[in-house]
Amino acid sequence: MEISEFIDYYKEAFGSQAQLPLLFGYSDQPIADTGKIGGCFFKGLQQAREGEALSLSADVIGCGGGKLYTGFSEMPERVPGFVSLKEKYKKTPEMVVDYIEGLGMERSEKPFLNFIRIDKAASFDGTEGIMFYATPDMLSGLCGWAFYDCNEPDAVVSLFGSGCSTVVAMTVTENKRQGHRCFLGLFDPSVRPWVGKNELSFTIPFSRFVPMMETMKDTFLFGSHAWERIKNRMEE
């Protein structure tokens, strides 16, 4: 399916007011001239949401955890202690280490990670994942769509982690193994200031997005009375 065709289906399914998703993937060259971002790089994603592409790299990302979860560095020595003793997100530093090792992340072979709004992209080439900023009503539709042709109990999952780990690291790892899991994210209090108070993320690895695009028109998102009521509320 071409991007333009998907956008038409997407707007028909979720309404004209629904925010378009972001595509993200790695490249050898940046697609945008992005300055250094201090702290959480999600503050920079606002420009991608507004239609201006973003290119992240080890030099652009100012957060050690952000560099780790985008695959641009090994785990900084201070991360386990910071996450446990400072942020108090895990009981012990050892638990942080154990959790990160269990994610199965790999270092990126390419130096840039690009985010671009789907209507600004020429094609899906190089896409690792698709990121939606979603309200509860939007999540109802996205989750239902993901469950439509998949009975696996982990078709949609919510796992512990920073915003960059749940959006980037988990989605990229899932795509590399051609997996089916979609991810709810942005529960991390550290990333919450950079997203809307009624928004979470829903990310789909490209390996899963391809078959989901093919089933989209068959789902309740088109023509069901229950979903039309929700879509009308989203349009208000």
Q: What is the DSSP string of 136-169?
A: HHHHHHHHHHHHHT---TTSEEE-S--HHIIIII
Q: Match 């985008």 to its residue by tokens.
A: 70
Pairing of strands 182-185, 156-158: parallel
pLDDT in tens, 2-19: 999 999 999 999 999 899
CA distance 70 to 106: 9
Task: Give, for 80, the enclosing helix (H) or strand (E).
Answer: helix 79-81
Each residue of 89-116: b (16+ CB within 10 Å) or e?
bbeebeebbebbeeeebeebeebbbbbb
CA distance 140 to 35: 36
Q: Please give the pLDDT value at position 86.
A: 94
Give how far Cα 121 sits from Cα of 31, 49, 177, 203, Å: 10, 13, 24, 17
pLDDT in tens, 185-208: 999 999 999 999 999 999 999 999
Q: Please give the pLDDT value at position 9.
A: 97
* pLDDT level of residue 216 (50, 70, 90 thresholds): very high
pLDDT in tens, 27-50: 999 999 999 999 999 999 999 999
Q: Residues 179, 20, 17, CA angle at the centre, nearest 5°?
A: 135
pLDDT in tens, 146-189: 999 999 999 999 999 999 999 999 999 999 999 999 999 999 99
Q: Please give the pLDDT value at position 155.
A: 98
Q: Please give the pLDDT value at position 236.
A: 87
- Is the Cα torsion angle 126, 11, 169, 210 positive or negative in sign? negative
What global pTM score does this model have? Answer: 0.95
What is the average pLDDT across 131-142? 97
* pLDDT level of residue 124 (50, 70, 90 thresholds): very high
Q: Match 């997203």 to its residue by tokens.
A: 195
Question: Which amino acid is residue 78, in one-letter code?
Answer: R
pLDDT in tens, 49-108: 999 999 999 999 999 999 999 999 999 899 999 999 999 999 999 999 999 999 999 999
Tokens of 220: 């309740």
